[in-house]
């Protein structure tokens, strides 16, 4: 499945982004003291792949 529409998302523990131009990382607040970084990747086409899937922990 290839997601190409605006607002489509890819979710994983580790992602690979490929493009010609990458912006500086911007710190964005998440929960409590945890911070996340946001970057924009530009290119024709800019692509993103999942390198490591999300592991779910059972209770």
Asked whether residue 58 is domain-assigned, the answer is no
Residue 59 placed within a domain: no
Give dist(CA 17, CA 31) in Å, integer. 25
Task: Kindly state whether residue 43 falls inside one of the protein's structural domains.
Answer: yes
- Determine the length of the chain: 59
Give the pLDDT score at 32.
72
Query: 17-37 pLDDT, tens per residue?
Result: 999 999 999 998 887 777 899
Closest listed residue to residue 18, CA positions, set 30, 26, 29, 10: 10
User: Is 2 inside any structural domain?
Assistant: no
Query: Which whole number is the average pLDDT over 49-59?
Result: 82
Decide if 22 is inside a domain: yes
Which structural domain range is residue 39 located in?
14-52
Does residue 7 sit within a domain? no
Within the chain, strands assigned E span 14-18, 21-22, 26-29, 35-38, 41-42, 47-52
Q: Would residue 57 count as lying in a domain?
A: no
Number of domains the chain contains: 1
| Residue 35, in any domain of the structure | yes
Confidence of residue 57 (pLDDT cuts 50, 70, 90): low
Among 20, 24, 3, 21, smallest CA distance to 12 is for 3
């Amino acid at each position: 499945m290839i997601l190409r529409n605006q607002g489509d998302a890819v979710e994983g523990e580790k992602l690979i982004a490929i493009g010609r131009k990458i912006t500086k990382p911007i710190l964005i607040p998440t929960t409590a003291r945890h911070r996340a970084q946001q970057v924009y990747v530009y290119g024709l086409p800019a692509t993103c792949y999942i390198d490591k899937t999300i592991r779910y922990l059972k209770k």
